[in-house]
A = this chain, B = another copy of it.
Amino acid sequence: TPSDREGHSGTQSSHRLLAYSDALISIIATVMILPVAHTKMEDNEELRESVQLLLTTKIAVYLMTFLIVTVAWAAHIRLFQVIVRIDDCLALLNLACMMLITFLPYTFSLMATFPTNLLGILLFCGCVMVMGVIQSVIVLYAFSRPFLLNEQIQISENQTFYKHHILKVIMRVPLMCMFASIFSLIFLQLSYVLLAIVIFLPYISQSLKWCRSKAIGQVEETPDSMLFYTYLPNEPLSKDRVEAFSDGVYAIVATLLILDICEDNVPDPIVVQKQFGGSLIAALQVYGPEYLAYFGSFVTVGLLWFVHHSLFLHVTKATRFMGLLNTFSLAFVGGLPLAYQLTHEFPHNSRNELEAIQISCVIIFFAGIFQLAIWVVALYNEHETLHPYVRYGGREHVFMLAKLALYPCVALGTFFLTCILSKFSAQIFHLMEITVPFAFLVLRLLVRVGLALLRLIFCPDRPDPRSI
B309 touches A99 (CB 8 A): no
The reply to whether the CB of A284 lies closer than 8 angstroms to some CB of chain B is: yes
A244 touches B19 (CB 8 A): yes
A109 touches B309 (CB 8 A): no
The verdict on A255 contacting B299 (CB below 8 Å), with A19-B244, A266-B113, A309-B91 known, is: no
Q: Which of A22-30, A189-197, A228-236, A411-419 contacts B (4 or more CB under 8 A)?
A: A22-30
Q: Which of A100-108, A208-216, A453-461 contacts B (4 or more CB under 8 A)?
A: A100-108
Within the complex, which residue of B105, B255, B299, B312 is in contact with A27, where a contact is CB–CB below 8 Å?
B255
Within the complex, which residue of B91, B113, B261, B437 is in contact with A106, where a contact is CB–CB below 8 Å?
B261
The reply to whether the CB of A355 lies closer than 8 angstroms to some CB of chain B is: no
Within the complex, which residue of B23, B272, B303, B389 is in contact with A251, where a contact is CB–CB below 8 Å?
B23
Give how many copies assemble into the complex. 2
Within the complex, which residue of B20, B255, B387 is in contact with A305, where a contact is CB–CB below 8 Å?
B20
| Set of chain B residues within 8 Å of A17, measured between Cβ atoms | 309
A247 touches B105 (CB 8 A): no
The verdict on A247 contacting B19 (CB below 8 Å), with A28-B255, A263-B38 known, is: yes
The verdict on A23 contacting B106 (CB below 8 Å), with A92-B441, A99-B298, A302-B98 known, is: no
Could you tell me the distance between the alpha carbons of A396 and B295 in the complex, rounded to whole angstroms? 50
Could you tell me the distance between the alpha carbons of A261 and B107 in the complex, rounded to whole angstroms? 11
The reply to whether the CB of A269 lies closer than 8 angstroms to some CB of chain B is: yes
A27 touches B88 (CB 8 A): no
| Set of chain B residues within 8 Å of A32, measured between Cβ atoms | 262
| Set of chain B residues within 8 Å of A396, measured between Cβ atoms | 8-9
A20 touches B251 (CB 8 A): yes
A102 touches B31 (CB 8 A): no
Min CB distance, A373 to chain B, in Å? 21
| Residues 309-338 of A contacting B (Cβ, < 8 Å) | 309-310, 312-314
Within the complex, which residue of B24, B98, B248, B306 is in contact with A95, where a contact is CB–CB below 8 Å?
B306
Min CB distance, A365 to chain B, in Å? 21
The reply to whether the CB of A382 lies closer than 8 angstroms to some CB of chain B is: no
| Set of chain B residues within 8 Å of A303, measured between Cβ atoms | 95
Interface size on A, residues (CB 8 A): 80
Within the complex, which residue of B20, B265, B302, B314 is in contact with A247, where a contact is CB–CB below 8 Å?
B20
B109 touches A247 (CB 8 A): no
Min CB distance, A247 to chain B, in Å? 5
Encode A251-269 as 1/0 by CB contact (under 8 A) with B.
1101100110111011101
B258 touches A28 (CB 8 A): yes
B89 touches A27 (CB 8 A): no
Min CB distance, A400 to chain B, in Å? 10
The reply to whether the CB of A117 lies closer than 8 angstroms to some CB of chain B is: yes
A314 nearest CB neighbor, chain B only: B8
Min CB distance, A32 to chain B, in Å? 7
Within the complex, which residue of B27, B109, B284, B440 is in contact with A119, where a contact is CB–CB below 8 Å?
B284
The reply to whether the CB of A176 lies closer than 8 angstroms to some CB of chain B is: no
Min CB distance, A329 to chain B, in Å? 16
| Set of chain B residues within 8 Å of A102, measured between Cβ atoms | 254-255, 258, 298
**6 cross-chain CB contacts under 8 A:** A9-B468, A27-B252, A28-B255, A28-B258, A106-B261, A248-B251
9 pairs of A and B residues whose beta carbons are closest in the complex:
A23-B251, A95-B302, A109-B266, A27-B255, A20-B247, A24-B251, A117-B280, A99-B298, A31-B259
